[in-house]
Structure formats: structure tokens, C-alpha cells
Structure 1
Amino acid sequence: MALKSTFAILGLVAGSTLALSAIPAQAANLFGNSGIKFDETTTVDFWFVQSKGAFKSTLSVVEKAAPTTSLGVLFKENVASLGSANDFLGTCPETVTSPTGECHNWFTFTGGVEYSLLLDSGNNGNVWSTDTLNTPVKPQALFSFVATPEPGKYTIRFDDKGAGDDADFNDFTIMAQIKPVPEPTALAGLGVVAGALAFSRRRKSDRKS
């Protein structure tokens, strides 16, 4: 009976694992040039890729309703570039880091609030990932979905206001990954598994006593 009970619990665990894998990642209500907004509070990981511009810029998260007020710096150029020889290339950690000195950062977006990413180049001007915040209204960032086994990955490439708005979209490049939010049914399934395991342990303990 103990062996059958163990097999039954393992089957329950396996079934719950399959159910979890079948649940899609939490979808963003908006994640692109129209804005950033999630139905539920969601954490997004960010990685710096490279910069190619003579400006010294800072990338921050802002609310759309207060587009010049930083809620948190993602990455900051401590030096504008490594030099003009390679199109003002900037790399991490040589010229760009997060506030903690890393090449990775994250931000937790509150559900129902609309956000944007601000690339602040000081006296050389600001641009936003949300088209309607830019003057004139136009894209200053390109969001590209990255096809990988890990869901929710994007490359975001900014075009600053240098070189007469050349629209090269290589002035500041990052990668973002939206972390999936477990569905309530999935969490309930995990609770069932935990309860079954606890019940099995109690039965074994009762037999021994």
C-alpha cells in the first residue's frame, strides 16, 4: 500500500507539473511603442546589450502620467563611449552599468499603471519608448520579440536625438524578459501536491507508531 501511495503522489506531482507547463506566461496588456502596462503586478528583467552614440545617457522607468520623473534607473552611461573609432561603442561594465554596477537590472511594474522607458541624454534631449511622449510623436525605440525557448523576451533599441534624428536605432540597446505570473489555478495545484505529500507522511508516521 505504501508503494501504491507513493506512486499516486508522484502521479499527482507529474500531473501538476504538466498543468503548470501548459499555462501560458502572463501576457502584458501593453509592452511596446503604445506603452508598458500589465494586468497584474509583474517583474521584468533587463540586460544592457550595447550603445553606439556620442551622448552620455541614462535609461529609467517612468510613469506615462509623469514622464520626466524617474521611478528607477535601469542603466547609466558613466562614460559616453570607448571612443569614436568604433561608432562610439559603449559596453558593460566598461562604460555602462546598472546602479549596482551590474549589466542586469529589474523593475516591478504595478498592475494597471501605464509606464514608459525614458532615455535621458541631458542637454542633448530625451526620448521615450512610448511614441506619444515624443515630440514630434513618432517611434524612438524598436521592440523586437526574441524567439527563444524562454518566453517573453524582447530586444529594445533606442534612437537618440543625435545626428539629426538618423533613425538608426542603435544608440542604446537592451534586452527585456517578462517574468510569468503563476495563475491562481496553478498555485492551487501546488497546494494540492503539498497537501498530498503531508498526508502521506502522516500516514507513514501513524503506521510506525
Structure 2
Amino acid sequence: MTTLTLVKKTSFTVASLATTMLLSICPPVRAFMFGTSGIQFDQDTSINFTFDQSHGAYQSSLWVAQAQSGNTGYTNIARLFYETKPSDNGSANDWQGSFGNAVTSENGSITQTFKFLQDQTYALLLWSDSGSGKPLEQYASSSTFMNSPEWFAANTQFRRDDCLVAGCQQAVFGDFNLDYNSGDLFTSVNGGKGPEQYSLLTMAQLAQGTKISFDDAGGGNDADFQDFTLSAELAPKPVNGLAFRNFTVSAQLPPEPAPEPAPEPVPEPVTVFGTMLGIGALAATRRKKKQGQEP
């Protein structure tokens, strides 16, 4: 598997000093973040990524990249999904690609699980072949600060010089809308909300499952965010070696034992004594009667 490292430029002019200083403190160090500032967890966390669809003429692959020490570079460490051809059927449906046709994964599964290690910083990188035959010709990062001229990859042709100091947002996160049958802008499709309002996820959103979508910077970097779409969800935590999703347990109580027969009442001592007297009197009467009958 090809590994490519994206690095931050170390040589700079006086005019770019402020840019380099700004980028050197991005992304901010936090216990948890998942969005355009980076990906980081405060404990080892596994995420299930499920492919949705791709669009556009570029042939792309989506990677997890991990930051190097000092945040001076990112290295591809896992390929989640990749296109084997630009689309299912040429330019039909805006070059739509579906899983099992134009898109696949290393193990052939539409869902890929990746474990993010505690306190490590990551990004998702969408690499594209724009027609040169090089699968890693250019990239779009989920981390906005990496989409600027201050970052580059060796032996690639792409430079996003239009993104200036802070970089361009090339990915959206959350409960946004996409209309593949419309040429409307992302903001129009989402009721006036721009991409910047879909820049991070909460743990609650990850627990429920949410969307991530990229713009591959093609078409003049039109920022339609329709080029590579997938979902992300917290992977179920294993219990005794088995993984369980949320479930409800109904406790079944054991059946009640059959009632034992009620014990017969024990006669009171007075009653017993009275009965014995009665039996004795009856016996004495029978003896007297028998003696009276004897000749």
C-alpha cells in the first residue's frame, strides 16, 4: 500500500511569518474534537465509517492520516474507501459512484472500522486522480488548516493557493442536506446555513450516527460538498469479547412455587380432653347396659 506524507513548509519569507505562526498553533489541543479543526479523542475510540456515494469526474480514495510529532506533517495510515473507476456509468447522475460498482474497500465491506488512539491527532484526506493517472495527485483535508499553501505533498501537482492563510473548508460534518439533482449552492439547500455551520461533531452525534461529505476541489473548487459522502458512528463497545449495540433487557422472574396444601387444624388441648371424656362416658354407659342385660 502506498504511503504518502503531507508536510508543512518550513521555509518561508517574512511576509509568510504570520501564516506559519498561525498554522503552528492549529489545531488547538483539546480532549475531544471531530471536525474541521482535527480529530482527537481522550481515550481509544473506534468509529464505523459507512460509504454513501461519490460524485464528480475525479477518481478518489479516502484515507485516515495521523499527525507526526510537532504537527509538522501527516502520514496516511489507513485507506477506508477507494474508487476503481471515476463513476458507475460515465457522467450519468453527475458521475455518481456507488459501492460495489465504482467504489470498494480493502476487505470489500461497505463499513470500515478505525480505532483512533488516545490523544493522537488525525485528519481524513480525500486524495484524487484528476486525470494524470496518479491516485495521490491532489488532496482535500477534513482539517481546514491543511488546505492552504503552507502544506504540500511531495511529487504531487496540486497547490491550493486560493485558500490563503487559514485554508479552505473542504468537508462538512453533521445533519446537513445534499441535493444531487440540483445545481443550487450548499447554503441554499441548507436553508441559508453555510458550510462553516457544519464544521464539528459532538459525541452525541457520533453515538447516533451522522454524515461527512467532501468537496474534492474540482470544478474550480466550487464547494458543493457532494464529491464523497459517508457516515460516521461510534462502534459498539465489546462486552466479554462480543460487540453489542443499544438494547433493552426484559427480566423474567422465575415462576412462583405451587401453594402447599394448608395443614389441617390441630385441635386445642381443651377440645381433645373434652373428646376423651365423651368417649369415656359413652364406654361406661355401654358397660352398664350390658350388665343389666346379663341373666
Which residue of structure 2 lines up, in the alignment, with residue 153 of structure 1? 209
Which residue of structure 1 lines up, in the alignment, with residue 138 of structure 2? 125
1:67, 1:181 → 2: CA distance? Answer: 31
1:39 aligns with 2:50: no
More strand by share: 1
Query: CA 1:67/1:158 → structure 2, altered by over 3 Å: closer, same or farther?
Result: farther
Which residue of structure 1 lines up, in the alignment, with residue 109 of structure 2? 102
Q: Quick check: 2:206–2:234 contact (8 Å CA) kept in 1?
A: no
For 1:57, what is the secondary structure of its paired residue? strand
1:171 aligns with 2:227: yes
- For residue 93 of structure 1, the aligned residue among 94, 100, 108 is 100
Which residue of structure 1 lines up, in the alignment, with residue 82 of structure 2? 76
For 2:32, what is the secondary structure of its paired residue? strand
* Alignment deviations for residues 74-95 of structure 1 (CA, whole Å, 9 cap, x no partner): 0000111021021000000111
Query: CA 1:67/1:97 → structure 2, altered by over 3 Å: closer, same or farther?
Result: farther
1:180, 1:102 → 2: CA distance? Answer: 17
- For residue 53 of structure 2, the aligned residue among 50, 55, 63 is 50
* Alignment deviations for residues 57-112 of structure 1 (CA, whole Å, 9 cap, x no partner): 11000013375521110000011102102100000011111111121111000000
Amino acid across the alignment from 2:100 = P
Q: Quick check: 2:174–2:205 contact (8 Å CA) kept in 1?
A: no
Pairwise CA distance, 1:149: 10
Pairwise CA distance, 1:179: 3.1
1:145, 1:87 → 2: CA distance? Answer: 22
* Alignment deviations for residues 154-193 of structure 1 (CA, whole Å, 9 cap, x no partner): 20000012100011000000100023669xxxxxxxxxxx
1:181, 1:38 → 2: CA distance? Answer: 15
- For residue 113 of structure 1, the aligned residue among 117, 120, 125 is 120
2:234, 2:46 → 1: CA distance? Answer: 7
Task: Give the stretch that moved more between structures: 129-138 or 65-74.
Answer: 65-74
Q: Quick check: 1:157–1:170 contact (8 Å CA) kept in 2?
A: yes
Which residue of structure 2 lines up, in the alignment, with residue 142 of structure 1? 172
Higher relative contact order (CA 8 A, sep 6+): 1
1:97, 1:68 → 2: CA distance? Answer: 24
- Of structures 1 and 2, the larger Rg is shown by 2
For 2:218, what is the secondary structure of its paired residue? coil
Unaligned runs of 5+ in 1: 1-27, 183-209
1:33, 1:95 → 2: CA distance? Answer: 27
2:205, 2:124 → 1: CA distance? Answer: 26
Pairwise CA distance, 1:152: 4.1
Tell me the matched-pair count: 154
Unaligned runs of 5+ in 2: 1-30, 149-162, 177-203, 239-295
TM-score for the superposition, normalised by structure 2: 0.49
CA RMSD of aligned residues (A): 2.3
2:41, 2:65 → 1: CA distance? Answer: 14
Pairwise CA distance, 1:151: 2.5
Runs of 4+, deviation exceeding 4 Å: none
Task: Give the stretch that moved more between structures: 114-123 or 60-69.
Answer: 60-69
Q: Quick check: 2:171–2:215 contact (8 Å CA) kept in 1?
A: yes
1:67, 1:59 → 2: CA distance? Answer: 18
1:138, 1:93 → 2: CA distance? Answer: 31
